[in-house]
Chain A
Amino acid sequence: MKLLTHNLLSSHVRGVGPRGFPLRLQATEVRISPVEFNPDFVARMIPKVEWAALLEAADTLHLVEVPKEPIQGYEHDESFLRQMHHVLLEVDVLEGTLQCPESGRLFPISRGIPNMLLSDEETET
């Protein structure tokens, strides 16, 4: 699971609503692997990023050189884009958990895939 994905995920435990974001990340196995740098793609992802959630997750994983916020003219700032590229796409959480901040429910991450299936009692419908 990349941090770009973590940034998108929200807990859907019953009654939690928007307080289910962001999920607290715990990682027991992380893999850093190079991904081809595509500045255009990264630039397009920046506006979608929830920064507080990203910084929290990056902090948990002890990542360094994480930009605190988008800078002016980021679209053309290669150094900024490369840093964001690394944080969002090159860090892969293989094993760990995601925790709903409101209910405390834990969702396991296994082989890089988060399991967010809820039991029938937990779902909203």
Chain B
Amino acid sequence: MAAVPGGRRSGPAAGARFFCTAGRGLEPFLMREVRSRLAATQVEYISGKVFFTTCSDLNMLKKLKSAERLFLLIKKQLPFNVSSVSKGKILNEMQRLTNDDPESWLNAISIWKNLLELDAKKVKLSQKNANPLKRKVGENDIIAKKLKTEQMQEIQENKECQLEKQIEEETLEQGNFTTKRDKSQEELQNDVVEAVGTHNQNDLTFRVSCRCSGAIARTFTAQEVGRVIGIALTKQFGWKADLRNPNLEIFIHLSDIYSVVGIPVFRVPLASRAYIKTAGLRSTIAWAMASLAEIKAGAVVLDPMCGLGTILLEAAKEWPDVYYVGADVSDSQLLGACDNLKAAGLKDKIELLKVSVIELPLPSESVDIIISDIPFGKKFKLGKDIKHIIQEMERVLRVGGTIVLLLSEDHHRRLKGCEESSVPLNSKGSRTDKPGSTECLNPEGKAAISEPASSSLAASNQERLDRMPPFGSLVPVERYRVSLGKTDALIYKYRKLHSPGQ
């Protein structure tokens, strides 16, 4: 339900409705973030997406750090019933997505145009002041590379039939792509605005990107649905389909929980940072960890296993008045981190050391905050015991300081000191210990789960937490289970209550 677009105010006056996709487990972070960063209202988490209303403009929306992608909502409704109805009938139903309420489509597009135009004006203004011949090196190259990746990604998605049970999660493929398109995100959006502005609505070109999951995916392919909707759109509005370079992108997700239609607000996923050249840890998770660490101005923040420095980069971008130190034993990682710092313009904010996490050349209680992704998996041979690692971290942390770690299941088990054979059951008898496990609590598949969901998610998190013993003077405070794609990991937050040995 898109609202009427505003006039002179930045962003839509009455607020527009958006939704974000998020990696599993990051939804509580995203809900918190849209509220604090965008003053969002009507925040709902439903089956892998966070819906919210906000008056923010593109500039602010661009800053979302825990989301994968952002969409302007056109339509959200109950799922299509595929059980005993003929395929033809369902296809007719689908056409109603476009035919029943054309106003909602036009409204959303209007809002979208306004957002882009407002942004384009700002960009033109800033470009006037800058040297027109000098391109913004670095960021543009990174964005162009990611756009190419994004295009490849979309082509793949349109071909695939999504039969996964898991809630959708967009993963960005890191690969070697030659960057032929040199346009920045902003320049592309300017192109779109020009195309959209100079023509009337009938000359709009579009492309439908469809995703099906659950029961409907067993009956239809994403392509079929995309085609049906595409034809219906052309019929309804006169727009032409353009698969290569459309003005307007339409995103549809049909699942067991809902049917959602939206317009992607940015070409490149939010999770793809313009300022990070080579990401190690997924930047959404890195930011989420930093957001837990209670970083305050003037703090000393250490990442003793910093790798390519993703966590420090995310933290330094958000909390700049802080002294950041990254350490690693690997030359290649440190070189990569150095590169990343330069590309992000953060060389002055983050210092690097070649040191070992179990032998930190720092006085005891000299660091305020430690944030670290403890490596695991076949790639990393952790010769050191996880307990020794945390012991050394504990030593250098000052009393009252916080530690936020990303742990594998394996680390987690070792820290607890005992074998965890089964996941605890909640009162309803279903397994709750999954990222974004809200659905498990509602086996009937009720659609809207807003505030109570985050607290029941938190409750199941808390329950597990109570079983985690303190580590010396480090007391566990919060924990979150997040998906890393193929595996899950745990974000653990500790606080140092007193000096070890007391």
Contact = CB atoms under 8 A, between A and B. Distances in A.
Contact of A18 (B338, B361, B363): B363
B298 A9 contact: no
A43 to B, nearest CB: 8
Interface in A1-51: 1-2, 4-5, 8-12, 18, 20-21, 33, 35-36, 38, 40-41, 43-45, 48
Nearest to B363: A10
Given A41-B297, A41-B321, A1 B351 contact: yes
B297 A40 contact: yes
Contacts of B359: 12, 117-118, 123-125
Contacts of A36: 348
A52 interface: no
A12 B360 contact: yes
A115 B388 CA distance: 21
A44 B298 contact: yes
A36 B345 CA distance: 12
B321 A8 contact: no
Given A8-B366, A44-B298, A45-B323, A115 B354 contact: yes
B361 A113 contact: no
A89 B348 CA distance: 8
B329 A113 contact: no
B356 A117 contact: yes
Given A45-B298, A111-B338, A125-B388, A116 B361 contact: yes
Nearest to A42: B298
Interface string B352-390: 111110111111001000000000000000000000100
Contacts of A116: 353-355, 361
A114 interface: yes
Contacts of B322: 41
A120 to B, nearest CB: 10
B321 A12 contact: no
B429 to A, nearest CB: 46
Nearest to B355: A116
Interface string B399-439: 00000000000000000000000000000000000000000
B177 to A, nearest CB: 29
Contacts of A33: 348
A12 B334 contact: no
Nearest to B299: A44
A8 B358 contact: no
Range, interface on chain B = 20 to 34
Range, interface on chain A = 20 to 34
Interface in A67-125: 89, 111-118, 123-125
Nearest to A90: B348
Nearest to A11: B361
Interface in B308-334: 321-323, 325, 329, 334
Given A45-B298, A113-B338, A117-B356, A40 B361 contact: no
A17 B362 CA distance: 11
Nearest to A14: B359
B300 interface: yes
A114 B351 CA distance: 10
A53 B325 CA distance: 19
Interface centre among A36, A113, A116 (most CB of B within 10 A): A113
B353 A125 contact: no
Given A10-B363, A40-B297, A125 B358 contact: yes
Contacts of A12: 359-361
B363 A117 contact: no
Contacts of B351: 1-2, 4-5
Nearest to B366: A8
Contacts of A10: 361-363
Nearest to B327: A116
B354 A40 contact: no
A8 B338 contact: no
Given A8-B366, A9-B362, A124-B359, A40 B321 contact: yes
A76 B329 CA distance: 40
Contacts of B366: 8
A5 B326 CA distance: 11
A101 B247 CA distance: 66
Nearest to B352: A113
A53 B123 CA distance: 48
A56 B355 CA distance: 23
Given A12-B361, A38-B321, A5 B297 contact: no
Nearest to A111: B338
A124 B297 CA distance: 34
Contacts of B360: 12
A11 B361 CA distance: 6
Contacts of A20: 361
Contacts of A48: 300
Nearest to A98: B361
A114 B354 contact: yes
Contact of B329 (A8, A18, A117): A117
Contacts of B358: 123, 125
A32 to B, nearest CB: 13
B378 to A, nearest CB: 24
A41 B353 CA distance: 22
A2 B349 CA distance: 11
Interface centre among B348, B353, B356, B361 (most CB of A within 10 A): B361
Interface of A: 1-2, 4-5, 8-12, 18, 20-21, 33, 35-36, 38, 40-41, 43-45, 48, 89, 111-118, 123-125
6 contacts: A1-B351, A2-B351, A8-B300, A40-B321, A113-B352, A117-B329
Given A2-B351, A43-B298, 5 more contacts: A8-B362, A21-B363, A111-B338, A113-B352, A115-B354
